[in-house]
Amino acid sequence: MSNLVPRPSNSLTGTQIPDTFSRAEGKELSRLQNREIARGLVTGTRVQAAGMVAAIGLQTTAMLSREANFQADGDPVTANRLNHIVDMYASYVGHEVSRFQL
């Protein structure tokens, strides 16, 4: 597995292993830093994906709701049936966003 944090021999490195650390401690520090960087990347990706699902879900729910109102054409029975479909879709979108475990 490649290192996410550049090695100290690289001039662009952002982290330096303190001189007081042994070689084993330095490796452990690098391993822990790599784990935290990877965890941050995964979390950031999940947040972005959840945001996209939420944005698209809101847009499609609004479009579906407008279409339901148009199709009902003032009939309350039809409006109730179509609004139920819109509500179920909105619940589905909410469930999909919650699956990202943020």
Q: Please report, in tens digits, the pLDDT of each residue of the chain (102 residues total).
A: 566 666 655 544 456 788 888 889 989 998 999 999 999 999 999 999 999 999 999 999 999 999 999 999 999 999 999 999 999 999 999 999 999 877
In a domain, residue 91? The reply is: yes
**Domains in the chain, number:** 1
> What is the identity of the amino acid at 63?
M
Hey, CA dihedral for 61, 66, 71, 73, is it positive or negative?
Answer: positive
In a domain, residue 34? The reply is: yes
What pLDDT was estimated at residue 15? 63
In a domain, residue 76? The reply is: yes
Q: Which domain holds residue 75?
A: 23-98
In a domain, residue 11? The reply is: no
What pLDDT was estimated at residue 3? 65
In a domain, residue 32? The reply is: yes
State the DSSP code for 7: P
In a domain, residue 8? The reply is: no
Cα-based torsion angle of the residue sequence 18, 32, 43, 40 in order, rounded to the nearest 10 degrees: 20
In a domain, residue 27? The reply is: yes
Place of tokens 């935290």: 36
What pLDDT was estimated at residue 11? 45
What pLDDT was estimated at residue 16? 75
In whole angstroms, how far apart are CA 67 and each of 57, 62, 71, 83?
15, 9, 6, 10
